[in-house]
Every structure is written in C-alpha cells, then in structure tokens.
C-alpha cells in the first residue's frame, strides 16, 4: 500500500513539474480512478509513507510536500550557492579566435621547426580543429601538425585557421644551414673528478639552425649536458661537440688531468692601493706538471681584521681597495684545496724615480743595480710599493719584476717602471757585445790613510758590460763597484776589476802616511760640527731647522749603506743610500727633496753653490764621482757640516760616515745646493 501511495504522489509531482513556472492556477491532470481509490484507502488507514521528524506525517501535511522533484545526480555536483547548469557551461567555453606562439621565425634549409604552436582565444577555451597552409611551398612547407620545414632560402608566410574564424600568420625566413659553429673554447685542460665548466658557441651571420645537440666522444673522461655544461670524470682526452640540425658544428678538445693537489699564491701577502683593482692569480698544482683551469672560487675570510677594506669578485678574483686595513682572501679549488692571502690596503705613491737614467750592460749580462724609489703622500707612512717593470724591446733586453735586467743582443731599449697609479720613470739601457778584455787605470796608485781615489775601467771598442771591483785586503783599502777606493791603513793591496763574463784586470795600491788638507775651506767655520738642536719645534728659524737636519744625519752615523733606501719614514731601520739619507733628513723638517742624487743636484729651485769655499752648514754637497771632466753629472750627494766635513751614505764605506772635502772629494765636487738661505 505504501508503495502505491508513493507512486501516486510521484506521478502527481511529475505532472506538476511539467507545468510552466508562471502558470500557478493551471489544472493538474487527474489520475486514474483506481489510483484514487488506492490512495483514499491508504489515507483512511493513516498510512501516508511520509515522516516528519521521525513520525508519520499527518494527512494535512501532504499538500506541503515539495512540488519540484530533485535531480540527485546534479545536486551532488553543484555548489550550494551556484546552479548546476552554470558549472556545466564553464567547461565548455567556445573559442572566438586563435593565436600563434610567434609572429616571425627563422629556419634553416631542410630544417623541421616544431616550435610554432597555436592556442585558443580566450585562454582556457577549447582549441578547435586548425588547418595550416603556406603561401609559397617552394620556400616553406607546413604540415597539419604545424611543423614548419624550410625548403629553399627566401621568405614566405604560414597560416593557421579554424572553421568560421580568421587566419593568423607567421613570417618565415629561410636561411642556409650553418657550415660550422664557433666554440667559445677550442682547447681546455681541466682537473678530474667532477670539475664543471660551461661551453658556448656562436653561429656565423646569414645562417640558421634552431636545433643543437651536444655530445662527448669519451664519456669516461668528460660528459656534457644539452646546456653545454661539461663535467670531468677521469683522466684522459675527449672531444666535446655541438652540432646543428644539419650535422655541422664545432668541437673543443678537452684534456682532463687528475684533480688539483694544491693551490698557492705567489706570496703570503700583497698590497693594494686605495681605489685600485688587482686580479689575484694563485697557482694550482696537479699530479702532473701541466697547468689546468681549476674553477677557483675566491672569498674574504670572516676572520679578517677588516673584511670591509676590500671588495672581491668571487668568480674572477678581482679585489678593489676601499679603505686602509687588512683582510684575508681565500682561494679554493672545486675539490676543496685552499690557500690564503693577506691583503693590505695602503696609500698610493705620489711619485717614482729610478736610481739611474741610463745603464750599460753586455750580451748575457745580468744587471741588478736598477731600483725604483717611491714618494710617500703627506701624512702617510706607508705606500703600495708594487712596481711593474717592462721593456720596450725584449729582443734587446729583458727585465723581471724585481727590476733585474738581462742583455739579449746588441742594441738599446727603454726599461720602464710603473706604479699602481700609473706613475712612470724610465732608464735607457744600452747593450754591448761581451768584452774579450777589460782594462784598469791607473795601473798603480798611492794614497794616504783616509784619502779616497778612483780606479777606472775600459773595454775594447764596441764591447761593454757591468764590472765588479774588489780589494785583496779590505783592512788596508776598500773599494766600491764604482771603483771608488778608500785608504784604511798602511799597506799594499791588489785592486781587481772583473767583467760580468769573467774577464779581469788588476792594479796595485800603496797606502802610506795620513791624509792632510789640500783644499780651501769656507771662511765661516765652526768650533764643532756637532748639532746644537736635537728637538724639533714649531716656529723654528731656518738656522735651527738646519741644525735639526744635521742632528738627524749625525744620529744615523754607522747605519748600513742600502741602495734605494731612505725614501720612507721607517727606512732608517734598514739603512740609506746617499740621496736617501739627504731626502730622509730634510723630510724631518717637512721639506721634500727630489729622490735621486741626480735630481737633487739638478733641482734649480734651490740656489746653486759653485765652490767649496762658498758652502754653508746644512748645504747639500754634490759630486761627480766618474771624474771624467764633465760638469753635467751628479751621482752622489751629502750634507755639509762645516769645518771641511760632510756626512753621507758611502757605498765604498758601506755605511753612513763623515768625510773630508779634500783629496778625492775635492776633485769630484761639482757644486752645492742651498735648501734654506
């Protein structure tokens, strides 16, 4: 009975749902009489088949049952706040047009290009069936999958269209396939066990290819991915190749060594000037003697005293000085080998002067007497002392980075020293044929104790080179490499001059008696040459300043002779050369002189004193120790003390000494320079 009742109600509701929603007063079609009777009987029995809150629904609630049937399939799928019909429509949007992935492409002859794709407009709409065509199949073909093929060099268009829509086009340029590819590297030497590097290529202009394939001839030595990244595997050789669609390409010959065994910087420390950029170049060692790229990575150590004093390019190793300070830079190979370098940032020098403007050497002669003197900025104590040495003609003479010159063949060239800031000074080098003989003059000489003289040397015509002078007994007489001999004690010695190639000559020197005065001395004399001023003060008179200069010079007595030293404030700890002592002493009163003897002698900003008799205490005394009669050369300087004495750094005496303006020094005196009137 319940089933019949439910059937009747269902039929009634279906009939009602079939009516238009607006026809609220429309008549519902009657059910059959048999059904009416069955329903009435069920009502009399109180069996409706409906329940309300768990109880049988009373007869009067039947009229309130829902009039519209529920579609259980769509009800489950539709959101609570959206009609089911809206969901169905969203997944079925019709395309209003199409678009191509490119408006223009370039392909090679006989190349298949699969990169041209089509998409629906609007985005997300279903893509309709598309047909393709070319407007010139003699140049370009396209299949119905959109694959474009270049037929012949030229230009054409391909079109895509869907039924009922407009065509869209892509301009196609067809070029010849490349004959070769130019590799970024044609040879590489790498370390083994996982080092990586990336190769690239370029294609000559006027050719086209869109497909490139990388490969290795020996994957057991090195592999390569399709981005050109090479990874080493084991020791050996392999060709890394890249090919275009037509098989043409390029290759790089790769030699793989063992993994790096170590890495080291040329020195434990280096200096860089403020704002200067320098590139670090550590040396990587391998199990073999061959060199290889080791993919070195650079970093500033966090334990640095001042990590911010430099900036660093971690890939290239370029450092730039930012402020004064010290930092530690590490260099690490791809397999973990590491080295450390201490970098100090200091001021740049303000000037550079070479120890000589000319040098004369022989073929195969090695000359180490050229030095660079650097000037320190005011208020600074240290400068970057790095100097780069170059030669104008390495076929005539070479120079290393210590300034050591080697003669190669006869001729002349220019050696240049350059500071980190680009300051330069030069020395002209003349190279002669090696001598077959060397001569010394005089063949014999006699001096008194304390006197100074000079031995000279000569070579046969068109030959030359450097020489060394020696004394057979330095306790009797000493001699420097310029041939200046100083008598020390009575006795006899042999003086020998030796050319760079071993050729020798000798002379005899007899020392007897003591030196006397043989020169007119200045009329203004002093009871003592000792300084009267040992403390520097502001507002000193010129006379007091000169006394302080003399005090500084006398306090350096006995310091060693060191060529090229004296141009930095702390050089007194090491020693001086002649012009370095003069420079250092006058700098104590904030007067900066020229930095070589020649420049000090020819500094025309200072009064020239033409005779020994006109000298005053504190004047610079200038000498021409070559004794060749020329008055246009100054190669030695000192500071006049008065009473016929001067103080200087003597290369023959090997230290800072006092000497008399008599004998040798009276003969070689050129003139004086007055710094303070």
Catalytic residue among 578, 585, 598, 622: 578
Integer CA distances (angstroms), 21 to 68, 71, 652, in order: 10, 17, 129
Please answer whether residues 507 and 442 qualify as being in contact, where contact means their C-beta atoms are separated by less than 8 angstroms. yes
Distances (CA, A) of 432 to 42, 426, 428, 461: 141, 19, 13, 10
Q: Which helix (H) or strand (E) holds 102?
A: none
DSSP string, 533-560: --S--TT--HHHHHHHHHHHHHTTTTPB
- Cα separation, 321 vs 246, whole angstroms: 52
Token code pair at residue 117: 């794709």
CA distances from 452 to 485, 488, 613, 637, 650 (A): 6, 10, 20, 16, 11
Residue with tokens 């070589």: 596
Q: Is 636 a catalytic residue?
A: yes
DSSP track, 162-231: ETTS--EEEEEEEEBPPS--EES-SEEEE-SSS-EEE--EE--TTB--S-EEEEES-TTTEEE-TT-EEE
Q: What's the Cα-to-Cα distance from 218 to each of 215, 232, 240, 255, 295, rounded to whole Å?
A: 9, 10, 9, 11, 22
DSSP 641: E
Residue 578 known to be catalytic: yes
Q: Please state, in angstroms and rounded to a whole number, the distance separating the CA atoms of residues 607 and 672.
A: 8
Q: Which residues pair with 173 in a beta bridge?
A: 106, 155
Quick check: 181 and 250 in contact, CB under 8 A?
yes
3-state secondary structure (DSSP) of residue 599 = helix
DSSP SS3 for 449? strand
Query: Which residue numbers are catalytic?
Result: 578, 636, 648
């Amino acid at each position: 009975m319940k089933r019949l009742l439910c059937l009747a109600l269902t039929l009634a509701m279906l009939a009602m749902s079939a009516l238009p929603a607006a026809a609220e007063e429309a008549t519902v079609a009657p059910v059959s009489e048999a059904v009416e009777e069955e329903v009435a009987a069920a009502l009399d029995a109180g069996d409706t088949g409906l329940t309300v809150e768990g109880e049988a629904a009373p007869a009067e609630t039947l009229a309130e049952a829902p009039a519209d049937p529920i579609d259980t399939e769509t009800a489950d799928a539709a959101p609570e706040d959206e009609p089911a019909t809206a969901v169905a429509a969203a997944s079925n949007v019709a395309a209003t047009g199409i678009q191509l992935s490119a408006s223009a492409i370039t392909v090679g002859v006989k190349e298949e290009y699969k990169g041209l794709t089509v998409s629906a407009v609007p985005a997300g709409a279903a893509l309709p069936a598309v047909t393709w065509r070319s407007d010139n199949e003699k140049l370009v073909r396209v299949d119905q999958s959109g694959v474009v093929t270049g037929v012949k060099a030229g230009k054409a268009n391909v079109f895509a269209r869907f039924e009922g829509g407009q065509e869209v086009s892509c301009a196609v340029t067809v070029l010849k396939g490349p004959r070769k590819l130019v590799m970024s590297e044609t040879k590489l030497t790498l370390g083994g066990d996982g080092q990586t590097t990336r190769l690239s290529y370029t294609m000559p202009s006027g050719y086209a290819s869109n497909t490139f394939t990388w490969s290795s001839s020996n994957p057991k030595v090195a592999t390569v991915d399709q981005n050109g990244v090479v990874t080493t595997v084991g020791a050996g050789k392999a060709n890394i190749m890249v090919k275009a669609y037509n098989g043409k390409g390029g290759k790089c010959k790769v030699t793989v060594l063992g993994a790096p065994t170590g890495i080291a910087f040329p020195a434990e420390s280096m200096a860089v000037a403020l704002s200067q950029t320098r590139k670090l170049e550590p040396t990587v060692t391998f199990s073999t003697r061959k060199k290889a790229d080791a993919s070195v990575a650079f970093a500033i150590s966090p334990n640095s005293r001042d990590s911010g004093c430099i900036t660093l390019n971690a890939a290239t190793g370029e450092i730039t000085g930012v402020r004064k300070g010290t930092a530690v830079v590490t260099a690490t190979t791809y397999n973990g080998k590491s080295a450390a370098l201490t970098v100090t940032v200091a001021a740049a020098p303000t000037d550079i002067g070479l120890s000589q403007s000319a040098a004369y050497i022989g073929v195969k002669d090695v000359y180490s007497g050229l030095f660079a003197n650097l000037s320190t900025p005011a208020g600074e104590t240290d400068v970057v002392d790095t100097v780069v040495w170059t030669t104008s003609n390495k076929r005539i003479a070479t120079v290393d980075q210590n300034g050591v010159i080697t003669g190669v063949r006869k001729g002349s060239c220019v050696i240049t020293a350059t500071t980190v800031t680009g300051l330069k000074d030069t020395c002209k080098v003349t190279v002669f044929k090696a001598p077959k003989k060397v001569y010394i003059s005089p063949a014999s000489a006699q001096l008194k104790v304390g006197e100074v003289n000079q031995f000279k040397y000569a070579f046969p015509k068109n030959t030359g080179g450097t020489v060394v002078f020696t004394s057979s007994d330095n306790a009797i007489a000493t001699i420097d490499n310029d041939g200046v001999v100083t008598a020390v004690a009575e006795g006899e010695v042999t003086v020998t001059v030796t050319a760079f190639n071993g050729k020798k000559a000798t002379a005899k020197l007899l020392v007897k008696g003591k030196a006397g005065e043989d020169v007119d001395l200045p009329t203004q004399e002093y009871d003592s040459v000792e300084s009267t001023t040992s403390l520097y003060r502001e507002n000193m008179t010129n006379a007091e300043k000169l006394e302080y200069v003399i005090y500084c010079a006398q306090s350096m007595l006995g310091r060693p002779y060191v060529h090229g030293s004296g141009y930095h404030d702390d050089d007194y700890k090491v020693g001086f050369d002649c012009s370095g002592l003069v420079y250092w002493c006058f700098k104590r009163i904030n007067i900066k002189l020229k930095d070589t003897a020649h420049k000090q002698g020819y500094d025309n900003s200072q009064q020239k004193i033409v005779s020994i008799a006109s000298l005053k205490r504190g004047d610079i005394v200038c000498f021409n120790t070559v004794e060749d009669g020329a008055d246009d050369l100054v190669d030695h300087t000192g500071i006049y003390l008065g009473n016929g004495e001067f103080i200087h750094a003597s290369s023959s005496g090997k230290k800072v000494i006092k000497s008399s303006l008599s004998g040798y020094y009276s003969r070689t005196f050129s003139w004086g320079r007055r710094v303070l009137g």
